[in-house]
Amino acid sequence: MSSHREAPEISKDPVADSTDLYAFVSAGNTVTLIANYIPLQLPAGGPNFYEFGDDVLYEIHVDNNGDGRADISYGFRFRTTVVNPGIFLYNTGPISSLTDPNWNRVQTYDLTVTSGGHTRTLGSNLPCPPCNIGPLSTPNYASLASAAVKNLAGGITVFAGQRADAFYVDLGAIFDLGDLRPFENLHAPLSSLKAVNGVNATDNLNVHSIAIQVPISALTVTGHPTIGVWTTASRQKARIYDADLGTYINAGPFVQVSRLGNPLVNEVLIPMGQKDLWNSLPPAGDQWFASSVTNPALAGLLNTLYPGSFTNVAGLATAGTKRTDLQAILLTGIPAGVINKTFTNYTGSVLADMLRLNTTIPPTAKPNMLGLLGGDPAGFPNGRRPGDDVVTIELRALAGLTYKYVDPTYSVDQAASAISDFNGAPALGSPPTGTFPYLGMPYCGYNYAPAS
């Protein structure tokens, strides 16, 4: 749900659907940027296993001067090669290397960077690993994945391929009228039920990740240590089906069909009738959607769904009080002095949905999954790490927990500090690894066992 099937049109185009975006300071004075695509992949997804779209332009954008427009864009274009078109199988034997002839459907990609109106190539024909099929087809998957990590000039490291989905979300509960399992006993129609732990709807599912690690000095400009990050997917404007060839022909300029900055913005805040429009626009135009952030409909519904538990935040909604706390978290960054005397990831007055990362804040030795709310300034909403529990963080913010920072006289509802999507569930997503590309190894198709 961070951006899984978040709008009507993109839900029909999973290859171009961005699911999650991460940005965090990593070892060696670098920043790691990860954009995930193709949501909710069943590991046993053969015979046509998941892959990036050859007809999609995937990009990760960086704004380093606070205007909500891309100053640096990393572009990924993929190319699929069928080794033996006469065979229906993805592979004809064990895949022991990225050049093994047993692998019948191989993907490579070109990486470019655009800055200052100029585009240059950083890498060509870079390899993707295959999907993690099983012990006979991919017997040593770790080595295949490791071989796909490439070090490029300028201190850049890159990877593109299948990984485990690290995002924790109880989709079944949230979209069943906000029936958060840890709070079931407080929900109006469900008052007879007892609170239970959350259920991770993305557990044992995979995504396709684009990950790039770049020196901080290559992303920032003097006087602006905080960057804004978002990812997009674009398709060419014209698409025609050629019945003779049995394939699509694409032509024309690329147009944006998907974007993602902060988690959950399009899903939870943008109205249904504007979701597809929001996906097509750059962050610099987000002033047109600002009222959906500063007067969120969900905040007004909380006290209806949980009678008596969120009366104070409901009062803000009823009075039409502008939620300047949410505006700071999601659209401008947090100015110095709001949280404490030193923390800030403020980029300026332009309202733009971007992950904002203050690159002067070093990684935390023992991260707190509640990020800044848990006293950890290296976590969300200062960028986002794979282990950050962004659903709980944003639910607590919507419930008014963060409004006290902009209005000290506001009395926070007691339930706001306890509201949770997680609350003791067995695992917070797939444990991210400690090395690039950080997300866990993709779940194996042969060993996949759906919940009974």
Could you tell me the residue ranges of all domains in the chain?
A: 10-167+204-281, 289-417
Q: What is the pLDDT of residue 421?
A: 74
- Note whether 230 and 21 are within 8 A (CB): yes
- Residue pair 53/37 in contact by the 8 Å Cβ criterion: no
| Radius of gyration over every alpha carbon of the chain, rounded to an integer in angstroms | 22
Backbone angles phi, psi at 336, to 5 degrees: -60, 140
Looking at residue 425, its pLDDT comes to: 46
Residue type, 97: S
**Ramachandran area for residue 429 (φ above 0: left; ψ -120 to 50: alpha; else beta):** left
User: pLDDT under 50 in the chain at which residues?
Assistant: 1, 425-430
What letter does residue 185 receive in the DSSP assignment?
A: G
Question: What is the pLDDT, as a whole number, of residue 424?
Answer: 52
User: Which residues, at least 6 apart from 332, have a Cβ–Cβ distance to it below 8 Å?
Assistant: 346, 347, 348, 349, 350, 351, 352
Residue whose C-alpha is closest to residue 73's, from 197, 252, 259: 259
pTM equals 0.95
Tokens of 443: 């779940």
Q: How far is CA 219 from the centre of its chain?
A: 20
pLDDT tens figures, 1-44: 455 676 777 888 899 999 999 999 999 999 999 999 999 999 99
Rounded Cα distance, 330 and 325, in Å: 9
CB neighbourhood size of 215 (10 A): 14
